[in-house]
Structure 1
């Protein structure tokens, strides 16, 4: 962790923006603090891609986060900055113009000071590489920071920047948020800026957002990116909450994760909400179809990379996971005709979940973040596929359905590693998720100025 008594202090983005407006600190002092913190922790964490702290892209001086430094994920177009998509197969060339989400971030007033690392094309749930050092978890550098927005989450959790850009195509905001003890909202489809990669997918899975250390930062960023009203605190409605303890992928949830979810459920009941067990109406068939689609995305990269990324794209340098997923698509798709049609129909099935529920509560992940190496892209593909399916089984459903979901901290386990819980809602209902996240933050004693999660996986009662 890099928190210290400098210009950044332990402020969240909202607090830092206020101090910048009042001229208690200057943008130069803030950037100097970012540079010093990076020098202190990034040689270990390795979350930074491109370093532009000395030459940032400034945001709108009238934006709500004016002068606050941030990082963009390295698949995101910033005019004049190279993008690698986390892959050695891509020869980085400067982007000709800002992407849509870059323009939204600048509109918030954020100063772009660099890029954050990600695994190859965001296909893995850990930020590890066959040809480079991994991104490490600031709570314990022997463990994964999650992915695909792993560099962003690691550096926000470590205190280098108060929030960072992230996006989510199967859990890529929520997974690293849970691994690093952060708040991570995946907005619904089309609510924030369109993703360049999502625009060319047969089913657009990708939502743009941020990872933060406070619910109010997430709410303020979401309001600015979506144009919706700012959510400023817990709601007053008595909610019907479905408690989901088994993912569509099957497999057991580890004891401490399960305990954190149950403790959260009890805390919500104590606030007057009704919590009842629930089993979503999707199962192993959904998982199998999603795996084929995941493979289709990798196959498209292997055969179309030169068209998408230029003639210098070298498919021989793609990592084993990308090749394995592409093979899975080639061998499995003929045996699962109609997988795209079935996935497109998931939205209607998902909407039915909210006839009798307002929110679904579940784990974010089936077990705590693993040690580095457990999900390494060089692990034999069949074994790695099974590990990934079990680990991330709770998060892809909302991407396919186009619905919002949020990861919120629920403390740390016996090893000191963060545990997160997952809240999901119907399309268009980000407000309820943010209101409930505020309530859980208050129960947990977290929020602005809180550097670390409590030493318990249960929220305070």
Structure 2
């Protein structure tokens, strides 16, 4: 197989070739290495390509038999491998735990061959850090690949691997999916275990999954990674059938709520709004019942809630630093994370209860506002990919903790709310700007109903296919 052929296949397609004996897992790993060597010096998405990549473990069967895979440098871990969280504070740290996620990956035949960049501690939606530098968007290297799964998105978009591990605590799968032209699902809370050490991570707001290029890969990945594990805080309702079987099921007539107005302070760019209008019309033509919806929550309320969760989470950094014999200061944390850490100090004992109550109120308010709809259609992001740097970057030297969270809530206005509610939501690359940049649109489902999202995503992919679109930087294109 040539590199130009490798990049044309999604993960399901490559696995089929391996199972048929037309190519081997080792050959695919070597092609991934060739793709990495060609494009990674330009995009800076992969910070470590494993020296033992050709011999990593993986079942010789499964839905993703022999497919190369990449791990985000944050979240799920592989025992013995570096996990630096994009931070100088954790430079050189190795995990002692094998996450359920990567046990499932190996059982499905995936070969994890390296790790990808992430903004420090996953706090930013922009793809740059002091530790690892700037990750460029393959569609335009002067623009961000998004975050916090920006390295994963850039690597998949540029063709290094067809699928990569990602995680989403407030948009971190869907932001880079939108800006890099990929399929990015944030599953329901509890659908995929973060154990054995991170169950119910960040109040259950953070979920692990993947970034990929096709809906069938998304469905197959749900089958691979879904399911309860020992120690999970609750067991979500399980699907009636495998998700890949949903690809052949009828969708039926759905009640669709469409967001045509902004939900935060940042205005929706005209080309993004046009993409929403066009997709709403398409859904109507498919027979669905389309109704406009207004913002189901207040942006300022979300900003305060996220700052409160940050306060509780960042307070544990002191213990982590102490255990490593390290000091938290400007030499170990970027400016924004240092300010968030300082903001978290000296919290009253009652603070955790206040944050939990704020989460409960938002879940209730949003749930009541959208309960009459089967799915929602929103922009994923109000803008196309932004240039590197600026106020949304955690390296910003002067912004305060409060200002940071206000800016975060304004830009990621359609995303973090569904981390709070626990609902599944997927960004699909259904449109492009006049300049050729990807525009993602978000489909939100009811809690626990990924099956309906798979069917709707399949319908939209068939009606508005995106596989022919290619970024400026892609392996095998020279």
> With structure 1 as the length reference, what TM-score do the two structures score?
0.90
Give me the whole-angstrom Cα distance separating, in 1, the residues matched to 2:195 and 2:388: 29
Distance 1:279 1:304, change over 3 A: farther
Deviation at 1:395, TM superposition (A): 0.4
Cα distance in 2 for residues equivalent to 1:183 and 1:276: 25
CA contact (8 A) 1:78 1:102 kept: yes
1:242 aligns with 2:257: yes
Q: Distance in 1 between matches of 2:250 and 2:343?
A: 45
Q: 1:32 aligns with which of 3, 8, 30?
A: 30
Number of equivalenced pairs: 447
After superposition, the C-alpha distances for 1:81-134 in whole angstroms (9 at most, x for unaligned) are 111011011132332231121112112210010111101110000121134421
User: CA separation of 1:83/1:315 partners in 2, compared to 1, >3 Å: closer, same or farther?
Assistant: farther
SS where residue 199 of structure 2 aligns?
Answer: helix
Match of 1:359 among 344, 362, 375: 375
- Aligned match of 1:287: 302
- Residue 45 in 1 paired to residue 43 in 2? yes
Q: 1:188 to 1:25 in 2, by over 3 A?
A: same
Unaligned runs of 5+ in 2: 228-238, 472-478
In 2, the alpha carbon distance for the partners of 1:79 and 1:18 equals 29
Q: Does the 8 Å contact 1:163/1:213 carry over to 2?
A: yes
Query: Superposition pairs for residues 312-351 of structure 1, below 5 Å?
Result: 312=326, 314-316=328-330, 317-328=332-343, 338-351=354-367
* Structure 2 CA distance for aligned equivalents of residues 195 and 275 of structure 1: 39
Corresponding residue number in structure 1 for 2:395: 378
Give the counterpart of 2:21 among 23, 41, 54.
23
> Is the contact between residue 234 and residue 437 of structure 1 (CA under 8 Å) also seen in structure 2?
no
| Contact 2:178–2:428 (Cα < 8 Å) also in 1 | yes
TM-aligned CA deviation for residue 297 of structure 1: 4.9
State whether residues 404 and 428 of structure 1, in contact with CA within 8 Å, keep that contact through their aligned partners in structure 2: yes
| SS of 2:315 mapped into structure 1 | helix
What pairs with 1:168-317 in structure 2 (closer than 5 Å)? 168-194=168-194, 199=199, 201=201, 203-227=203-227, 228=239, 229-230=242-243, 231-233=246-248, 235-297=250-312, 299-306=314-321, 310-312=324-326, 314-316=328-330, 317=332
C-alpha contact (below 8 Å) 1:406/1:433 kept by paired residues: yes
Are the aligned partners of 1:42 and 1:48 in contact in 2 as well (CA < 8 Å)? Answer: yes
* Residues 289 and 343, structure 1, Cα contact 8 Å, conserved in 2: no
**Larger deviation, residues 259-268 vs 90-99:** 90-99
Q: 1:52 to 1:391 in 2, by over 3 A?
A: same
Q: Distance in 1 between matches of 2:128 and 2:354?
A: 33
Structure 1 unaligned regions, length at least 5 = 454-461
- Which residue matches 1:457? none
